[in-house]
Amino acid sequence: METYGVDALGALGDPTRRAIFECLARRPMAVGQLSAELPVTRPAVSQHLKVLKQAGLVTDQADGTRRIYRINQVGVQAIHHYLDQMWSQALTGFQLAAQQIARSEQSSLSSEPQEEA
């Protein structure tokens, strides 16, 4: 599942795909509707949707002669899970570094000669 989140993030790295994804986050749409809202041709929108679909971020459903695309919640959850993992690792690393610095400072304080009063 971790790769799924990484693939999804990679797919959103393209500004046009991100714009398409944001449009679909507002409501499900067909290729023609997306093309009308964005400065992108229908074939280009279709290609970007293909990448988003392969990354697990969108799904589609037939509606007569057209396909309606919508956000795939599973793909969004994969990104969320991936970012949570990365954040947890970063916090753990920070905590370990802080503990190491604290131990180092404590040990240097305890090894300093004591002044007599």
* pTM check: above 0.85: no
Strands in the chain per DSSP E: 29-30, 58-63, 66-71
Q: What's the order of all strands across the beta sheet hosting 66-71?
A: 29-30, 66-71, 58-63
Tell me yes or no: is domain 2-74 CATH 1.10.10.10: yes
What are the boundaries of each domain within the chain? 2-74
Q: What is the pLDDT along the chain (117 residues), one digit of tens a residue?
A: 345 567 888 999 999 999 999 999 999 999 999 999 999 999 999 999 999 999 999 999 999 999 999 999 999 998 888 888 877 777 877 888 888 888 888 877 776 666 655
